[in-house]
Amino acid sequence: MIKTALVSFGMSGRVFHAPFIHLNPNFMLAGAWERSSKNIQSVYPGVTSYASYEEILTDPTIDLVVVNSPNDTHFAYTKQALLAGKHVVVEKSFTVTVEEAEELAALAVQQQKILTVYQNRRFDADFLTIQKLIAQNKIGSLLDVQISYERYRTTLSPKVHKEQPTPGAGVLLDLGPHLVDQAIQLSGMPTAVFADLRITRSVSVVDDYFTLILYYPTHRILLTSGMVFMQQGPGYKIYGTKGCFIKNRSDVQEDLLLAGHKPGGENWGNEDPKNYGILSTDTDGVITSTIIESERGDYGKYYEAVAAAILENKPVPVTPQEGINIMKVLVAAKKSYETRQVVHL
């Protein structure tokens, strides 16, 4: 079994990591570093509430460390874990600079340890359905792709680190990694990026809105996210030479996890049919629209792949190079906003 410790047991550890680690028979949840509130033992009796990171790093029985702390700590904590001989899952964003990401990737190779970035949104029902339709050639060659992650929250997040003017704060590095990763999964690395970042809430001091245009030789991908969308539109609009697919962002997993449900079972990750997307196609001038049943979302697939990578030498679910590529796009987006120019990659 892969004995695993979390760097934090806040919302990320409680919702996205611990439940899947605890239920996967290949893992043993050892505990979490808890700085002030001590909560993990009330949820998972028998695990350890570590008083310091050093306790985790010096424990020879810990195989895997999940670095799910604020973005600007990812580099230091991941580097320490790799140097201590641990495998590492690091939350998005991978780091806050490309150079940090590249250094960690090289260190993992040197230490002969698994390093993978946590991109759970690859396993959303929405995105899995889109990938299936593209693989079946139902949409054709991509012409225009619009992906959005819209929220409505006029107050500040209770997660203070997300709202302070630090290198890792702001919505670009919070939700941006999800959208950029999905764009790269669909179309590879863009040739150039143009970005607009804004502060739209009067209480905010960090970016809480962005629009990115990713340029490709044959199409464009528009990524949008923010906190001022009182009514959310479709999360995905995929236009191709054969058809288009329009779908709301409606994966159910996060809501279920936040409500305290344990993952697993036959119905886990199944969307309500009212949230299925619509595929439209044109046959000799006649447009036909078809409701497409959503694939089953399953974040547990991520940790299944992590276990296979550690125990069977299989590929990691998200490679360090993929994490580097995401950072290249995000850093280019910041530069584009600052210079008001298209930044070539």
**Which pairs with CB-CB distance under 8 Å and at least 24 residues apart come from 155-161?**
155/203, 156/201, 156/203, 156/204, 159/10, 159/11, 161/70, 161/71, 161/72
pLDDT, averaged across the chain: 96
What is the DSSP track for 182-231?
HHHHHH-S-SEEEEEEE--STT-SS--EEEEEEE-SS-EEEEEEESB-SS
Residue ranges in the chain assigned as alpha helix (H): 11, 18-23, 40-43, 53-57, 74-83, 98-111, 125-135, 171-174, 176-187, 253-258, 300-312, 320-339
Question: Under DSSP, is residue 288 helix (H, G, I), strand (E, B) or coil?
Answer: strand
Tell me the sheet residues that pair with 213.
194, 222
Q: What is the pLDDT of residue 8?
A: 97
Per-residue pLDDT band for 159 (boundaries 50, 70, 90) equals confident
pLDDT in tens, 74-94: 999 999 999 999 999 999 999
Per-residue pLDDT band for 294 (boundaries 50, 70, 90) equals very high
Question: Under DSSP, is residue 145 helix (H, G, I), strand (E, B) or coil?
Answer: strand
Q: What is the pTM of this model?
A: 0.95
Domains of the chain: 2-118 (3.40.50.720), 121-297+329-344 (3.30.360.10)
Q: What is the pLDDT of residue 283?
A: 87
Per-residue pLDDT band for 36 (boundaries 50, 70, 90) equals confident
Q: What is the pLDDT of residue 160?
A: 79
Query: What's the CA angle centered on 11, arms 5 and 15, to 5 degrees?
Result: 75
Q: How many angstroms separate the CA atoms of 195 and 72, rounded?
A: 22
Per-residue pLDDT band for 311 (boundaries 50, 70, 90) equals very high
